[in-house]
Structure 1
Amino acid sequence: MNLRARRRSETRHTIQRQAIRLFMDRGYDATTVNDVAEAAGVSAMTVYRHFATKEDLVLYDEFDQQAAATVTELPADEPLVVRIARTLTKTYEDAIADKEFHLARLRLMIATEALRARHLDSQYATQEALVAALTGGSEDPATEFQARAAASACLGVAHIALLRWAAEDGEPDLRTLFEEAFTATFGHPL
């Protein structure tokens, strides 16, 4: 990553952390983009340059790109749900290294109606990234359908595990919750 990209990433990170902090302290609806800009020490225009919408201040992550890269690294001879489940487990574990930050994001997504609706869009984008990675540009409808069905099912299971993790203040081991949820759904450990 060059210096410019690193600075851009650091600015995005600072803005998002300040936004999450303010949303948790004041409430999502009571906090404006101008409040976030002031807390982050940037202009409102800079906030919008990094986050197109207020919802993106909570929902933005690089999960889709990481998941797509990870799923293509796994052996292609494994069943789709196994590959996707392993991908989601690894990607979520990597993504939530900062537990308190991600717990706050999840709590905001759960508690805020506008974010719940947009989170579904985010889930769809993750599904699309996984399907594209799994099909490798194949235009075979059966291959695309199978990848979409497996990705959608696995994302639903992962979502339930994350909700429980958030409800229990991040205390349970996330990998264990994922394993329990995938086993309950697919009948065997993945």
Structure 2
Amino acid sequence: MTRTQMPTASAQPVPGPSGRRNATPVPGLRERKKLKTRQTIRREAYRLFAGQGYEATTVDRIAEAAEVSPSTFFRYFPTKEDVVLVDEYAPVLAGALESRPADEPVVDAIRHAFTGSLAQLLGADRQELLFRTRLAFAIPAIRVRAADQQLRSQDAVAALIVERTGREPGDLEANCAAAAITAVFSAVVRHWTESGGAGDLAELFDRQLSMLSAGLRI
């Protein structure tokens, strides 16, 4: 989850645990323009990173290529590292989890929600994801930020476990389970990246989370 940067979910209603569909507002014109600008900045940044290297690419050069001002760049991405680290899979996972039965074991709920969403999203974004994760593992400044991001992801998963199980905030078992889940995500993404994107990433997640589910009963 941490190093897996995910594209934005489409604005479609998401079925809740009771089977009702929670209406998700359709983005207005202003939001669509902002999304288009964000995508343009990121696309031009990746093109420049691939052509001249991450370190050699300045924010000014990215802004020029995207035809925006540097101040506009910083409105969308606080730092150059954020172009790589921006995590847009969270809305996808959160929405997908709402459709899982409330009494389903947490690891299984995450496995079904995440792998189902990932399988659909990777079709269009597989190469971009592979490029981004390579940068996340290769660039020291991004690695440092990614480690901090992984801790935040772990806290978010722990909060999800607490919410779904009725445990107290700060519960040790919830925190340990969250640490195990985020470690699996990181290990799978690293394996997939180092193999050059070989194999189906959704299937890799499904297989390894299944193994984890057999040992975690929470």
Q: If the TM-score is normalised by the length of the shorter chain, which range does it land in? A: 0.7 to 0.9
Structure 1 residue aligned with 2:130: 103
1:15 deviates by 0.5
Gap runs ≥5 in structure 1: none
1:82 aligns with 2:108: yes
Post-superposition Cα deviations, 1:148-188, rounded to whole Å, max 9, x if no partner, equal 33232112112211122222222311122113323444558
Structure 1 residue aligned with 2:68: 42
CA RMSD of aligned residues (A): 2.4
1:91 deviates by 4.0
1:88 deviates by 3.0
1:5 aligns with 2:26: no
Residues 48-127 of structure 1 mapped to structure 2, 5 A cutoff: 48-96=74-122, 97-127=124-154
TM-score by length of 1: 0.85
Percent of paired sites with the same residue: 38
Equivalent in 159, 173, 176 of residue 200 of structure 2: 173
Equivalent residues, number: 187
1:6 deviates by 0.3
- Measured in 1, the distance between the counterparts of 2:213 and 2:163 equals 25
Post-superposition Cα deviations, 1:73-95, rounded to whole Å, max 9, x if no partner, equal 21121211111222332344344
Q: Which amino acid aligns with 1:149?
A: C
1:159 aligns with 2:186: yes
Contact persistence 2:162–2:169 (CA under 8 A): no
Post-superposition Cα deviations, 1:52-87, rounded to whole Å, max 9, x if no partner, equal 111101111322232223223211212111112223
Q: 1:183 to 1:136 in 2, by over 3 A?
A: closer
1:13 deviates by 0.8
- Measured in 1, the distance between the counterparts of 2:70 and 2:182 equals 34
Contact persistence 1:123–1:155 (CA under 8 A): yes
1:148 aligns with 2:175: yes
Q: Which amino acid aligns with 2:180?
A: A
- Measured in 1, the distance between the counterparts of 2:186 and 2:44 equals 25
- Measured in 2, the distance between the counterparts of 1:129 and 1:72 equals 15
Q: 1:95 to 1:53 in 2, by over 3 A?
A: farther
- Measured in 1, the distance between the counterparts of 2:82 and 2:155 equals 18
Structure 1 residue aligned with 2:155: 128
Gap runs ≥5 in structure 2: 1-26
- Measured in 2, the distance between the counterparts of 1:187 and 1:46 equals 48
